[in-house]
Structure 1
């Protein structure tokens, strides 16, 4: 194991998608960095399952392509290209079918990539480590303080080790220790109050399962499908199951997202999951199809979600050291639209560029006097742009969530009916495909 150095230019705290993307951006620019994570090894219990064109095109291939030209294709090869995102009601009538092909003029990745977050992280780690940059696992930050007249931050670790850095990247998740240290509020963007558990939080179950054969034909193997109705959303996402040699093993591997009205078990078993499918999953209200049967649960968990947004992404010490937020440390929202991992990756890439521009600014000494020199404005611009993007995405996700919640009241009926009519207009499909793709957020 490589020992943790005592100092570096940039310390990235968190080796998830946002931290790894930032690391690749720094490596491209040959900026010294150290990346640490509190876990023992790579994270494999993540919930994200979608990569959108913005993460593949606008961020990875454009921002990193000179050094990592094969990275986007390596990611694509590990997933399933979902050319459509389909929403149906309990009677399996089509509500709308989002056609990603409508944005083909703007990207070579006119699809949503169905790939679990842990596979994305695995591929990003390979590229980070392939460049000679190891990840320091089991390094939990327990203390932070300004040193050297505020020109550096000193990080103390649970292990007793200490490291100083000028830039500290907070990629340490929604319960970010670094965000708390910096005194940055994590607020509900609608109430402007501190985001915390509340009665309006939505509960979900996420599970990776193997369905029994034969798989009913109303469960697509080549695209994401969402059922909306009473009780909450039922989403099925096929996943690529391959062995170490790259050969397919099982065509019935699926990720399930299930909205639940109450508090589910910590690790829901097959009986719990099957009961939800039997009540409101594919085939549950159809005379033409049967309900898919769960043969095996590979992994399952529960979570609650609420919208949250950091009131700023940047904390500057008096001497010009920085704590900089990315990913879940900066924003949080529900799973609708598959946006979280993509925003985190784009945060990381854009922050690496901002750090590079900041280091190259011609008069960094101006920061020590608190002036509004370009060096200060570079970081403020990063914060303003990425926070604006997060706010727009949260608004979109919240609107989509209202549809996913379903229900039997008139409000739910009118929402679904309005969508059915709207998607009869081709322009509407293209507009929503563009919004979900995230391509409009590229800097």
Structure 2
């Protein structure tokens, strides 16, 4: 795939010498910044995106895109293409040595539009997003615009930007820093970025196999996630294998804390590791990188009129595919809230709810990520013995399988304590409660329930139609897949937020209750 660029050009501010006030400026043109820009534009909010580069980053980097992220992409018009071009999978296998310890299925039930996971290299996902942004008249994407200064006052934010033609100032009502782990936005805000830095180093190798070569017997027609603890081809360490698009395979080798990074970068040394793992030298080394990772979070995600999202706000280890997925879900959470505030449809406290909910999600992801890292890289002889016992038992007993942690795969966080939610007033025996993600289901007339989310608030009515001023109502059967997944009975109604989160639910429709829940979800509790 030819990757699009967004070359530098002089802006109106530079030509006129006068800052032009913008509703929203996004710093960073990675997957998170581009997702947020598209989301805001779909809600009729003009956006300027600035990035210190003018091209998509090199290498595969993030590879696994989770079902919820694919649904977000689908609302923006790129989800079906990502799912079509990537490698779909839902089954994983974990090995101890060469013996299988256990297997898992991420989506054992049918009737979902999007698969559990799609593997597609980050540069190809970014290419789809960049092309969508370049076709959107409400978005201006500016390459080689480096943020070097940030000042807030009562009237908004001034950004000092460096370009090939020198410095100039921009003005914005709101700024969102989506500028990565080394975020200039976060630094200029003076925010701490506390957490744990892990000493272990890992090698990524992207390889293309020769015809007929199968890695360890894995069938490319039914791709799975394979993870080895202490395999015979890489003793004492771990290895992760994923299929990628375009016939590539991603292999992650744990190198340990004392690895000689310079020596491990030697292409011949990398090829030797890959050949030992594959049992064949029939491959091409396409790309490689050595990484060390952190689990940490910014102390705040909002400071006045400036917000943080993605890696600028939080970092996790790569085990569980929680980094890019949680960043896209940050954008999904923030987009409708920021649009509502810009357009005067929601109260400013909506943005405080973004900070509350996404700190909750970040801490959830960091917790899962840290526990996976501790299991993969034991810090003591006792921890190593406990891990071996769990792996040995998992092959024979069900109770030990949950103890094995090669990375809990990304799932959206339930915001059960969100200030935007209206608590249940009745007893529910099943289904997602307020603050939980709204599940997908097929529609009788064709299409999918997930396709109906994302544009605004929606009221799901099970069994018979209702009228709710200012709300789009979707009438669903009182029996069937959707009713079962939502725990509904005839007369049940569910209020769904624009980011596909349940805001409230009732066993019977009451217009006043719905209006009060809608006001609360806009940050204006009555």
TM-score (norm. length: structure 1) = 0.79
Counterpart-to-counterpart distance in 1, 2:209 and 2:182: 34
Shift of 1:34: 0.3
Higher helix share: 1
Given that residues 233 and 404 in structure 1 are in contact (C-alpha distance below 8 angstroms), is that contact kept between their aligned partners in structure 2?
A: yes
Given that residues 295 and 369 in structure 2 are in contact (C-alpha distance below 8 angstroms), is that contact kept between their aligned partners in structure 1?
A: no
Question: Which residue in 1 is equivalent to 2:332?
Answer: 349
Counterpart-to-counterpart distance in 2, 1:418 and 1:10: 54
Shift of 1:4: 2.6
CA RMSD of aligned residues (A): 2.8
SS of the residue corresponding to residue 102 of structure 1 reads coil
Question: Which residue in 1 is equivalent to 2:188?
Answer: 181
Given that residues 89 and 115 in structure 2 are in contact (C-alpha distance below 8 angstroms), is that contact kept between their aligned partners in structure 1?
A: no
Partner of residue 126 from structure 2, selected from 121, 124, 144 = 121
Kindly tell me: are residues 31 and 152 of structure 1, through their superposed partners in 2, closer, same or farther at Cα, counting changes over 3 Å?
same
Given that residues 202 and 292 in structure 2 are in contact (C-alpha distance below 8 angstroms), is that contact kept between their aligned partners in structure 1?
A: yes
Counterpart-to-counterpart distance in 2, 1:335 and 1:434: 11
Question: Which residue in 1 is equivalent to 2:43?
Answer: 29
Partner of residue 363 from structure 2, selected from 384, 391, 397 = 391
> Which stretch shows the higher mean deviation, 210-219 or 21-30?
210-219
Question: Which residue in 1 is equivalent to 2:308?
Answer: 325
Shift of 1:266: 8.5
Work out which of the two has the higher radius of gyration on C-alpha atoms and give 1 or 2: 2
Counterpart-to-counterpart distance in 2, 1:394 and 1:5: 42
Question: Which residue in 1 is equivalent to 2:251?
Answer: 256
Partner of residue 242 from structure 2, selected from 225, 231, 237 = 237
Kindly tell me: are residues 47 and 421 of structure 1, through their superposed partners in 2, closer, same or farther at Cα, counting changes over 3 Å?
farther
Counterpart-to-counterpart distance in 2, 1:360 and 1:73: 30
Shift of 1:265: 3.1
Structure 2: tracts of 5 or more residues without a match = 1-7, 14-19, 415-435, 438-500, 502-526
Kindly tell me: are residues 294 and 4 of structure 1, through their superposed partners in 2, closer, same or farther at Cα, counting changes over 3 Å?
farther
Question: Which residue in 1 is equivalent to 2:480?
Answer: none
Question: Which residue in 1 is equivalent to 2:178?
Answer: 171
Alpha-carbon displacement from aligned partner over 1:66-113 (angstroms, at most 9, x marks no partner): xx4x4211110110001212221222x1122221232546x3324211
Aligned residues, how many? Answer: 385
Question: Which residue in 1 is equivalent to 2:317?
Answer: 334
Given that residues 336 and 401 in structure 1 are in contact (C-alpha distance below 8 angstroms), is that contact kept between their aligned partners in structure 2?
A: yes
Given that residues 48 and 141 in structure 2 are in contact (C-alpha distance below 8 angstroms), is that contact kept between their aligned partners in structure 1?
A: yes
Shift of 1:423: 5.0
Shift of 1:151: 1.9
Given that residues 394 and 400 in structure 2 are in contact (C-alpha distance below 8 angstroms), is that contact kept between their aligned partners in structure 1?
A: no
Alpha-carbon displacement from aligned partner over 1:20-47 (angstroms, at most 9, x marks no partner): 1100111111101100111131223351
Given that residues 369 and 407 in structure 2 are in contact (C-alpha distance below 8 angstroms), is that contact kept between their aligned partners in structure 1?
A: no
SS of the residue corresponding to residue 15 of structure 1 reads coil
> Which stretch shows the higher mean deviation, 352-361 or 25-34?
352-361
Alpha-carbon displacement from aligned partner over 1:104-159 (angstroms, at most 9, x marks no partner): 46x3324211111111111111111121334211111111122xx43221111222
Given that residues 322 and 409 in structure 2 are in contact (C-alpha distance below 8 angstroms), is that contact kept between their aligned partners in structure 1?
A: no
SS of the residue corresponding to residue 51 of structure 1 reads strand
Given that residues 17 and 120 in structure 1 are in contact (C-alpha distance below 8 angstroms), is that contact kept between their aligned partners in structure 2?
A: yes
Partner of residue 417 from structure 1, selected from 392, 399, 407 = 392
Question: Which residue in 2 is equivalent to 1:265?
Answer: 262
Shift of 1:355: 0.5
Matches within 5 A, 1:252-331: 253-261=248-256, 262-265=259-262, 268-277=265-274, 281=277, 291-293=279-281, 295-316=283-304, 322-331=305-314
Q: Does 1:139 align with 2:145?
A: yes
Q: Highest relative contact order (Cα 8 Å, sep 6+), 1 or 2?
A: 1
Counterpart-to-counterpart distance in 1, 2:281 and 2:9: 47
Shift of 1:410: 1.1
Kindly tell me: are residues 276 and 378 of structure 1, through their superposed partners in 2, closer, same or farther at Cα, counting changes over 3 Å?
same
Question: Which residue in 2 is equivalent to 1:130?
Answer: 135
Question: Which residue in 2 is equivalent to 1:39?
Answer: 53
Shift of 1:406: 6.9
Kindly tell me: are residues 129 and 299 of structure 1, through their superposed partners in 2, closer, same or farther at Cα, counting changes over 3 Å?
same
Given that residues 54 and 439 in structure 1 are in contact (C-alpha distance below 8 angstroms), is that contact kept between their aligned partners in structure 2?
A: no
Given that residues 100 and 110 in structure 1 are in contact (C-alpha distance below 8 angstroms), is that contact kept between their aligned partners in structure 2?
A: no
Counterpart-to-counterpart distance in 2, 1:433 and 1:45: 22
SS of the residue corresponding to residue 149 of structure 2 reads strand
Q: Does 1:218 align with 2:212?
A: no
Alpha-carbon displacement from aligned partner over 1:242-284 (angstroms, at most 9, x marks no partner): xxxxxxxxx4x211212111242398344222333466x35xx
Kindly tell me: are residues 176 and 131 of structure 1, through their superposed partners in 2, closer, same or farther at Cα, counting changes over 3 Å?
same
Matches within 5 A, 1:362-377: 375-377=347-349
